[in-house]
């Protein structure tokens, strides 16, 4: 056995050769044991010891099935050190050998050798399968940067060195997440503006949108901090996240918690700048922010929880402009449909995002919608996109939107989503990142332009009506 292992390790592609050597040894050992048992059984048919021989045969077949099971389904997360230890100890019997009565010494010896041969193969298969799986699914150590290098370009590179880990913690250099959190807020603001009584002025819309963007920037950073605190023991094992500040120990857990408290306090301060009802609508979203990192561990649809969190702004624009959702059923229906539309959008773009880590997520036990729909991913993206546009049109219907909205927001959004679904290469990490990063404005920008155009048109119509009414009264 040691010779087989040594010969396999000596080859260039030693993981494959080791696995092949293990498979060959299993076949040889099983074949020899089966032939011996068949010969022993045939020679002693009808004898008093036939029952004992069959018992040995049953034990052998049980071990054989166990060997095949381990060979095919060896768990790759078994540490290599443990597998090596198992290999060393398996060269000697793990269980005491108890000779059966009414069975000759030759039969006992043959069965014992066969069982020990298969038993010794177990750990070799563990090693070969573990190393082969690790080589195919995990990046090689020499292919990864061994030392963290501070950024040399971008906004973070201009900060003091002591600030850089905290800026990286809130993903200041990757604003796509902030855009995805902000856009539902802008959607609801533009959709609600014509429904306000009186219709919201452009200054009100602009100031409300600016407050929402500030809140999105702060709360997205808080969400990233919460996520990294939950994932601090998982991130070091994922290629893309292993150099995050908490994972690389640049920010301690205690400092991260203090930093999170400061972010939440800042977010609360911004929330208090809105009308008081916004406080009642906004605070419950904090529960969803906390739950999302846990959802990744228990369900393949954590993106749905993320959608519930990131889409909360689709509701906030209505109370921010003084619209009471409880007493206004049309506004409530429009807000609910817009919220559901944004949840469907989150399922689409975060499914693309999840494909960047799909191999590492499987390795560390993180679940995602990309794993659940790996074999029908484009179909799933198409369904989510169709649901998004359908719900968006429903929201416009209840809000009394005009043709500019349906042509610009719904038609343009459908075209942008169809282009993304058709062209994104889910097997290319860089392409997934490109579509995730730019999709915020490809889809969200088109929808926003349609909503803005509809607001401008309806605002001009109202002003014309008021002017005509004033002239008539005069």
pLDDT tens readout for residues 342-355: 999 999 999 999 99
Answer for the pair 359, 369: CB distance below 8 angstroms, yes or no.
no
* CATH 3.90.1330.10 correct for 161-473: no
User: Does residue 260 register a pLDDT over 90?
Assistant: yes
104-118, 231-245, 309-323, range with the lowest pLDDT: 104-118
Model pLDDT, residue 4: 43
Among the listed residues 140, 216, 131, the one whose alpha carbon sits nearest the alpha carbon of residue 176:
216
User: What's the rounded mean pLDDT across residues 375-383?
Assistant: 94
Query: How confident is the model at residue 231, as a pLDDT?
Result: 86
Q: Which pair of tokens denotes residue 435?
A: 């579509």
| Gap between the Cα atoms of 60 and 37, Å rounded | 9
Question: What is the structure's pLDDT at 221?
Answer: 94
pLDDT for 105 equals 54
Q: Say yes or no to pLDDT of 122 above 80.
A: no
Tell me the domain boundaries of the chain.
2-138, 161-473
pLDDT of 39: 53
**Cα dist from 86 to 78, 121, 135, 462, whole Å:** 11, 10, 20, 80
Using the predicted structure, report yes or no on whether residue 395 has a pLDDT greater than 80: yes
Q: For 197-239, how does the pLDDT look when each residue is reduced to its tens digit (9 = 90+)?
A: 889 999 999 999 999 999 999 999 999 999 899 888 888 888 8
Which of 143, 142, 224 has the alpha carbon at shortest distance from 181? 224
The secondary structure of 345-408 as a DSSP string is: HHHHHHHHHHGGGHHHHHHHT---HHHHTTTSHHHHHHHHHHHHHHHHHHHHHHHT--HHIIII
| pLDDT at site 100 | 43
What single string gives the DSSP state of each residue in 288-308? HHHHHHHHHHH-S-HHHHHHH
Q: CB–CB of 440/420 below 8 Å?
A: no
- Residue 409 banded pLDDT, cuts 50, 70, 90: very high
The string of pLDDT tens digits covering residues 279-290 is 989 888 888 888
Query: How confident is the model over 429-467, as pLDDT tens digits?
Result: 999 999 999 999 899 999 999 999 999 999 998 888 888
pTM exceeds 0.75 = no
Taking all residues of the chain, what is their mean pLDDT, rounded to a whole number? 77
For residue range 146-178, list pLDDT tens digits in order. Answer: 478 888 888 888 899 899 999 999 999 899 999
Distance CA(234)–CA(169), nearest Å, equals 16
Identify the residue with better confidence: 318 or 132: 318
**Model pLDDT, residue 34:** 46
Interatomic CA distance for residues 205 and 187, integer angstroms: 11
């Amino acid at each position: 056995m040691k010779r087989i292992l040594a010969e396999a390790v000596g080859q260039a592609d030693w993981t494959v050769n080791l696995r092949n050597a293990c498979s060959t040894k299993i076949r040889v050992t099983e074949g020899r044991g089966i032939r011996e048992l068949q010969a022993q059984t045939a020679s002693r048919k009808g004898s008093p010891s036939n029952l004992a021989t069959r018992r040995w045969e049953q034990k052998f077949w049980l071990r054989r099935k166990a060997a095949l099971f381990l060979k095919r389904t060896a768990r790759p997360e078994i540490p290599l050190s443990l597998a090596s230890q198992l290999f060393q100890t398996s060269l000697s019997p793990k269980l005491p050998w108890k000779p059966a009565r009414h069975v000759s010494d030759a039969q006992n010896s043959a069965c014992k050798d066969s069982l020990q041969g298969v038993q010794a193969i177990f750990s070799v298969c563990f090693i070969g399968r573990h190393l082969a799986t690790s080589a195919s699914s995990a990046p090689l150590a020499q292919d990864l940067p061994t030392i963290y290098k501070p950024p040399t370009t971008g906004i973070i590179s201009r900060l003091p060195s002591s600030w850089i880990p905290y800026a990286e913690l809130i993903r200041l250099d990757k604003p796509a997440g902030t855009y995805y959190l902000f856009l539902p807020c802008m959607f609801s603001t533009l959709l609600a503006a014509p429904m306000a009584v009186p219709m919201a002025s452009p200054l009100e819309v602009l100031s409300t949108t600016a407050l929402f963007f500030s809140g999105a920037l702060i709360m997205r950073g808080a969400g990233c901090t919460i996520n990294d605190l939950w994932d601090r023991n998982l991130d070091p094992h994922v290629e893309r996240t292993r150099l995050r500040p908490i994972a690389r120990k640049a920010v301690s857990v205690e400092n991260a918690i203090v930093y999170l408290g400061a972010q939440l306090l800042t977010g609360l301060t911004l929330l208090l700048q809105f009308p008081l009802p916004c406080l009642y609508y906004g605070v419950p979203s904090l529960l969803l922010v906390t739950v999302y990192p846990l959802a990744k561990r228990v369900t393949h649809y954590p993106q749905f929880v993320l959608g519930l969190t990131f889409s909360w702004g689709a509701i906030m624009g209505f109370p921010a402009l003084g619209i009471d959702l409880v007493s206004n059923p049309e506004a409530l229906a429009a807000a609910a449909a817009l919220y559901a539309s944004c949840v469907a959008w989150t399922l689409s773009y975060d499914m693309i995002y999840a494909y960047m880590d799909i191999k590492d997520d499987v390795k560390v036990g993180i679940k995602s919608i990309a794993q659940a729909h790996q074999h029908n991913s484009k179909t799933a993206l198409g369904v989510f996109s169709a649901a998004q546009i359908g719900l968006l049109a429903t929201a416009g219907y209840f809000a009394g939107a005009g043709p500019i909205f349906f042509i610009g927001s719904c038609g343009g959004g459908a075209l942008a989503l169809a282009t993304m679904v058709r062209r994104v290469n889910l097997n290319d990490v860089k392409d997934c990142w490109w579509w995730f990063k730019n999709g915020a404005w490809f889809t969200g920008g088109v929808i926003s332009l349609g909503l803005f155009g509809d607001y401008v048109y309806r605002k001009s119509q109202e002003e014309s009506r008021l002017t005509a009414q004033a002239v008539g009264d005069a």
